[in-house]
Structures are given as structure tokens and as C-alpha cells.
Structure 1
């Protein structure tokens, strides 16, 4: 009888435990992936706003930005051309929608695959490009991850060329924003593809997945939309307005258009371009040793600017010499960099060059570069002092002798 009671007690305890556990699971659901966003000054990379920007999330078709970045690298290196014919693999042809409609063994030019991947977001086109460059999708994915590291995308790992959900295929809003900036500045000659409304993709006419927003939002010119069920809606956008560019990334949202508009409108309302320095604007002068004059003006080769909130003070510009600067100095010679720090503490580092030539001083013409004018002056003073002491010594000796 006691054994039966003991057994019934254990069964009752198990039922109670199961009820408690099931109640906890029902009332404590798995933590949902967070909404993530970041807004940057497109030129400098200064972060204007961020939320969960380093959360690792599914990027969906934002992945295709990296696929295209590597395609552009290959074209610039001469290993690929827009007319190169790609043979479509079985793997590429088997990719689910969105699709261009490629068939195994089909040959198609790189230019058409670029248009399909960038404009229609065709998964088969992106996979075909990856297989052609990498040999297979796994090898190409490793190339994508290596390239991500080279671009400073430290929290991104790719597993395929198109962004379809795969274990470990993750990125962040910050990394995707940096990739968008690199696409714009590293390959400006190809960037226009992201704002084209339609294009001939060889076997079909393709329409931009972002046409409505590009047409309705002032200054919008790209870059990429994405969606899978695990990723939610994702977007990397670029807007050029009021003379400066803002790039933003949004991940895991339910309405990327509303979020993108709110973020970018806020950025342009909150920040303004308070300082603008056109290319070759003289920023200051640097000290030169051993020259016919002791300073040389310097400038930045490219335009740069400073964004700030209205009413903030001006930035500071500090010159950092590239070693000891000694004559001769030629026009266009790289002589160092300037560090421009705004009122919020953001610093951008900009290479500078000499805008004028400085020849060696006449007395320095035959002196090695290791010596400067101060060395000669100091040596001359020592020699003059030696002659003076020697003359006085000779006079003293003469008085003692006579």
C-alpha cells in the first residue's frame, strides 16, 4: 500500500512540475529579434543616430550589396567584364523567388546579372555571379566574409550570395551601412544602377523593387531592399539633400519606408553642414627646415565638410606632419594630415599636400638632407666663438711675451 501511495505522489509531483514549466514557457516567449537602425553622414561616416546597430540579424537581400561589390572589384581588376558570359549552375537556377528565370547551362552576360540582382533583387542572378567568381556558393561566401573584414564589417558572416536564410548568415545595421558607403565611394561609376527604375536583363525587363519610394522621396537614390520571414523588412538607403548625403540602415522592421523617412527627415532637421572645404582649399601652413622660406601652405586633395547641430561651435583643425619636413618641398607632395574635430568630438583624418614648392636655401644647396638651417647656424656660432677665443688667447700670449 505504501509503495502505491509513493508512486501516486511521484506522479502527482511530475504533473505539477510539467504544469509549472508549460505555464512558464507560455508566459515567457522566446525573445524576439530587435529592430535595428543607424544613420550616418555619408561622407565622413559620423554616426548621427543608432539603435541596436550591432545586433546580429538576418540581412536578407541586403546581402546582394556585397555580391555586387565583389563583382565590381573583379571588373576593376580586369578578371571580369560586363560582357563576360556566365554559365548558370544547377545551384543558381534552383534558387527560389525573386528570380530572373535562369536555366541550368544557360549563358548570360555579367551586365544582365548585375541588373537583375541590383534592380529586381533576383536570387538566381546573384547566385550565378557568386558561382562564376568563386567556383561554388560556399567558396564565394568565404570570399564575401573576407571582404567584409577588409571593409571593417567585423560582425558579419555570409553563407550565400543572395541572402536567403541560412544558419550563421548574419550581419548588423552598422556593417550594412558601411557596405552601402563603400559601394557609393569605392565604385561611383556603377552606383547609378541602384536608382534605375527599369532595365533590360537580357531575358526579361526588370523593375526596381524600390521604384515607388525613389519617385516620391526627395533626394533618394538607392540602395537596397530586403525581406525574408526571419529577417523581416530590411533596407539600406541613401539620400542626397541640402548639399550632403545621409545613409541609413534598417533591419527587422514592419514598415521600412516609414522608418527610413522618419530617420532621414530627423537627420536633415537636426544637422546641417556648418563647414565646407572645397578641394585644394588652403587650410594652414607647415614649418619647413632648411628652405628659402620656413613655411609651406597645405590643402586637402578632396572636398570635406563638417555636420553639426545649429549653434554648436566650429571644429578644430590640427596639422600632423609626416615626419620632419625639410626642403626641398615640391607642389603636390604629401606632407601629413589634418585631424578635424567637431563640437561633438567626432574626428575625421584627412591627408594634405603642399600647394607651393619650397627650394633649399642657397647656403644649403650642397648640404645633406640630414642637416637643416638651425644646424648650420649653430655650427657657425660655435666656429665664430672659437675664432674669438683663439684671437684673445693670442693677444694675451703676446702681452706675456713682450
Structure 2
């Protein structure tokens, strides 16, 4: 017994992530789940998170990533009109009943996808962006690979397929959810809408249609702001739920739940657990970290700034008010220097141990001083001495 306790203690000490999972006494009915903090990517709980399963409509998270990629590149715009093809209209499952030839704006299509899980809207957007759903799916798989989604393969853009070659994992769903809400947080403005009317305008008629959010946690769970649900006979019931409290944003993924109530209750249980153990430290003191002397440059000094925000997630009840920061700037730097190059780092420690750092970068270019610049400096000094 004594040897067993020693081995167990050793495992806990060398695998802190396992320790977090072990402390969670969650009675979940879903076979595959994961809970992730979005800003750090820290996994707070997982259960069969790398098991390949059919994702149903949470496939559309990747579809949304590609849509927002195109918006960020200005290849498309929210006001652009998208025309529904006969193929897009033919989609079954969850749909918003777009007619062939019907035009809706990109923004309306996004709402149809993220609020009402419209398969027809997803295919219409795929065709609008890539020319065909097949080409769009190829881009989805390439994007997934770039995110490190090693256990994922898509065969359509909406999750309607029942092919065994269309699969992902709870862990991979968390990764793509993190990518979407981190780089394109505006998607949460859409996914948090409970109900909204759109207007179908066709040759036959003009009529309103109400989009109702398929994610009931938006209405019932404090802080839930999205993200996406899905269900088919093979996938059963899935959800990737995003919730925010006290600057902490969590992603709870449930796959294969036996019914729609269980997927939401399991997601809520994980979110409750996460908010119960998490404390987040964010360094909001970003005053100028100082200037650095430059040798051989057109300027004698250069300023620097923080490359990004420092965030530290605690799940062990540590005294975050005791976090200390030390700024370490490079010395004896020589021109040329480029704006954005590393100038040093801000190191954060807690209880004597480093918990992370943020790079400091030069805030402007400093070219090497040429002959004309040196001559100008000498002449300036002469005039001042005269």
C-alpha cells in the first residue's frame, strides 16, 4: 500500500494536468468531453477527448473560420450578396429554407449558420468563397491541419454527411473553437443572439423567417455567448459552448450525448467546474518599459513596447496578488534595428518561480548611421559649441 501511494504521488507531481482532471468529480453521461480555457489553451477537464467521432453541425465552426478568414483578407464583405444555388437549396437537415436564386448578404448568411445551423446557408457560402463545396472542404482540411487538429477529416461543410470518413474529436473541436473566438471574437455577437428575423425575397414572394438559436445555453446559462450545436443519428448530440465570467472565457465541448438535454447539462457541469477553480491574472500595467541606448544608429535611443498581453490562469488557489514582474532590456545594441524585433522581455514570477514572460519589442526602426548623418551630427555639435 505504501509503494502504491508513493507511485500515485509521483504521477500527480509530474503530471499536473492529470491532477486537474482527477479533482473533478463530474458525473457526465456523454462519452467524449473536454473543458478548455480559451486564452491559454489550458485543459481543465477531459474524458475520451481524442476519440474520433462524427461531429454533425459543429463542423460549421470550421466553416465559420474560413468565412471570417476571407472577411479579414477583404476578399468578401459583410454586405456582399450571396446567391443560393439549386445544390445549396437541396440540403436537408437543419435549414433556413433558402430558395434557388435567392440572395442574402454575407452577414445574414453568417447568422443563418451560427444561430439556426442552416445547412443550405453553409453550402451557399462555401460555393460563394471557393466555387464549390468540394474545394471549400479541401480548404477546411488544410486549415484544420494548420491548427494541429490531428484527428480530424471533413467531407462536407455542414456536418450533414453520415460518412465514417467525416470525423473529429472533442479536443480538436476545442482547438478550432479557440481559433474562431480568439481571432474573430465578433462571431460571439452573432452566436449570442437568441432570436432574430430575416427576410426571404424571391420571385414568388417576400416573407419573414425567424432564426432561433439552437444553443439553449445562450438563454439558460449565465455568461454563455455561443458557440455551436450539432446532432445526427450517428453523431447523437454535440455542442461546443463558450461562456464568459470575470474575464475568464471557457470552452466546453460535448460529443455523443444521448439526448439534447444531456449535452447541455454536461456542458453546464463542466463550465460550473471551470469557473469554480479558475482565477485569471492579467497584467494591465503596460507603462513604457523604458528606452535602450543604440550604437551607430540615426537615433541614440529607441523605445520599446509589449508584444502582447500577459495572462496567467491559476487552478490551485495561488495568491495572484503576489505576482512580480521584472523588465529585462537588451544592452549595447547596435543599429540597424527593426520595429517589432525583440528588445527584451518582461518576466513574471510567483512564489519564487517563473510563470511566464512577454517579449518586449522595438517601437520604431533605427537605421545605421551613414556618412551624411555623421557629418550632420558633427556640424550640429560645432554650432552648439560656437
TM exceeding 0.5: yes
Aligned residue number for residue 278 of structure 2: 271
Q: Which runs of 5+ in 2 are unaligned?
A: 1-28, 201-208, 375-386
Aligned residue number for residue 178 of structure 1: 175
Aligned residue number for residue 191 of structure 1: 188
Question: Contact 2:292/2:303 (CA < 8 Å) preserved in 1?
Answer: no
Aligned residue number for residue 351 of structure 1: 359
User: What whole-Å deviation, never above 9, does each CA across 1:342-384 have from its counterpart, x for those lacking one?
Assistant: 89x9976643235899999xxxx96xxxxxxxxxxxxxxxxxx
Q: Which runs of 5+ in 1 are unaligned?
A: 1-32, 367-402
In the aligned structure 2, how far is the partner of 1:87 from the partner of 1:243? 39
Count of equivalent residues: 328
1:339, distance to aligned residue in structure 2 (A)? 6.8
1:111, distance to aligned residue in structure 2 (A)? 2.1
In the aligned structure 2, how far is the partner of 1:96 from the partner of 1:342? 55
User: What whole-Å deviation, never above 9, does each CA across 1:308-364 have from its counterpart, x for those lacking one?
Assistant: 121378778798989984468799764255576889x9976643235899999xxxx
Tell me if 1:242 matches 2:250: no
1:301, distance to aligned residue in structure 2 (A)? 4.3
Tell me if 1:202 matches 2:207: no
Tell me if 1:230 matches 2:238: no
In the aligned structure 2, how far is the partner of 1:195 from the partner of 1:229? 26
- The structure with more helix, counted as a fraction of residues: 1
1:88, distance to aligned residue in structure 2 (A)? 1.8
Calculate the TM-score normalised by the size of structure 2. 0.72
SS of the residue corresponding to residue 57 of structure 2 reads helix
1:169, distance to aligned residue in structure 2 (A)? 1.0
SS of the residue corresponding to residue 275 of structure 2 reads helix
Greater relative contact order (Cα < 8 A, sep 6+): 2
In the aligned structure 2, how far is the partner of 1:88 from the partner of 1:312? 56
Aligned residue number for residue 111 of structure 2: 115
SS of the residue corresponding to residue 115 of structure 2 reads helix
In the aligned structure 2, how far is the partner of 1:306 from the partner of 1:82? 35
Q: 1:322 to 1:251 in 2, by over 3 A?
A: farther
Question: Contact 2:117/2:214 (CA < 8 Å) preserved in 1?
Answer: yes
SS of the residue corresponding to residue 209 of structure 1 reads coil
SS of the residue corresponding to residue 54 of structure 2 reads coil
Question: Contact 2:37/2:43 (CA < 8 Å) preserved in 1?
Answer: yes
Aligned residue number for residue 335 of structure 1: 343
Tell me if 1:59 matches 2:55: yes
1:155, distance to aligned residue in structure 2 (A)? 2.0
Question: Contact 2:40/2:313 (CA < 8 Å) preserved in 1?
Answer: no
Calculate the TM-score normalised by the size of structure 1. 0.69
In the aligned structure 1, how far is the partner of 2:49 from the partner of 2:328? 32
Matches within 5 A, 1:142-157: 142-157=138-153
Q: 2:85 aligns with which of 82, 89, 95?
A: 89
1:285, distance to aligned residue in structure 2 (A)? 7.6
Moved over 3 A (4+): 284-292, 294-299, 311-334, 336-343, 345-351, 354-360
Q: 1:73 aligns with which of 66, 69, 73?
A: 69
Higher Rg of the two aligned structures: 1
Tell me if 1:220 matches 2:189: no
Aligned residue number for residue 400 of structure 1: none
SS of the residue corresponding to residue 169 of structure 1 reads coil
1:121, distance to aligned residue in structure 2 (A)? 0.5
RMSD between aligned alpha carbons?
3.9
